[in-house]
Amino acid sequence: MPRHARFTLPDVPLHVIQRGNDRQAIFFVDADCRRYLDVLHGAAGRTGCAIHAFCLMTNHVHLLLTPATEEGCAALMKQVGQQHAQYVNRTYRRSGTLWEGRFRSAPVQAEDYLLACQRYIELNPVRARMAAQPGEYRWSSYGVHGDGRGGDLPLRPHPLYLALGADAAARQAAWRMLVDQALDPVLIEAIRAATNGGYALGNAAFAAQIAAALGRRVTPGKAGRPPKPHDDERQEQLL
């Protein structure tokens, strides 16, 4: 299947996934995760990207972000990817490709899908059986959104999250209640299919708007079988 051109729209949220080459590890110890977030923080400021949520898994990364420019997300992922690859190769005396090709992304309709996508990202360690509860996993944005921990992390909460309560405590309580509700399996598959396929995650009107702006199709074609979504969220992984 031909790859889509790398275009994004200013001020439209994106769900981004970047995987290790051949599903190999990209984080080995906690210090690797901490350094990645430091690099992400700096790159987000330079490229004009607002990071709303993240989850660092052993062999892949999830980000929910909004770029201020068409080039912002690509510039962010290039800077972070290059710096992390150099760090890993130098630290662990390895060589070769760290990442599995290009990152994957899907534009997200904020009103109907953004908070669901954020829940999906922060529940990733639970689906992978790396934690019983999302708060037990250190390397996701749930600590900020649900418990008020990690104020130094590279996050700019989305306005829809901020609208959950009048103050931080109210927002965190509301978020804990949302995350406690199981995500519909149909929604989980929709998020995976959209991100892996580079399609719009939203209703028909949103997809038409994004397609018109980008000048290309942003929904799956009718012919042939759709690509099988990656299922490595369900594989057991160890940090």
The packing angle between helices 30-47 and 72-91, to 10°, is 150
Quick: pLDDT tens for 111-149: 999 999 999 999 999 999 999 999 999 999 999 999 999
Per-residue confidence band for 221, with pLDDT thresholds at 50, 70 and 90: low
Average of per-residue pLDDT across 160-165: 98
Quick: pLDDT tens for 76-96: 999 999 999 999 999 999 988
Find where tokens 């209640």 sit.
177
Is the pLDDT reported for residue 14 higher than 60? yes
**Cα dihedral 236, 153, 47, 220 sign:** positive
Q: What is the pTM of this model?
A: 0.89
What is the structure's pLDDT at 2? 47
Mean pLDDT of the chain, nearest integer: 90
3-state SS of 78-142? HHHHHHHHHHHHHHCCCCCCCECCCCEEEEECHHHHHHHHHHHHHCHHHHCCCCCCHHHCCCECH
157 closest CA partner among 137, 173, 171, 136: 171
What is the structure's pLDDT at 229? 43
Q: Both tokens of residue 192?
A: 């995976």
What is the Cα–Cα distance from 20 to 36, expressed in whole angstroms?
Answer: 14
Q: Both tokens of residue 68?
A: 């201020």
What is the Cα–Cα distance from 80 to 213, expressed in whole angstroms?
Answer: 27
Quick: pLDDT tens for 39-68: 999 999 999 999 999 999 999 999 999 999
Task: Give the domains, in start order, of the chain with CATH numbers.
Answer: 14-214 (3.30.70.1290)
Average of per-residue pLDDT across 204-223: 84
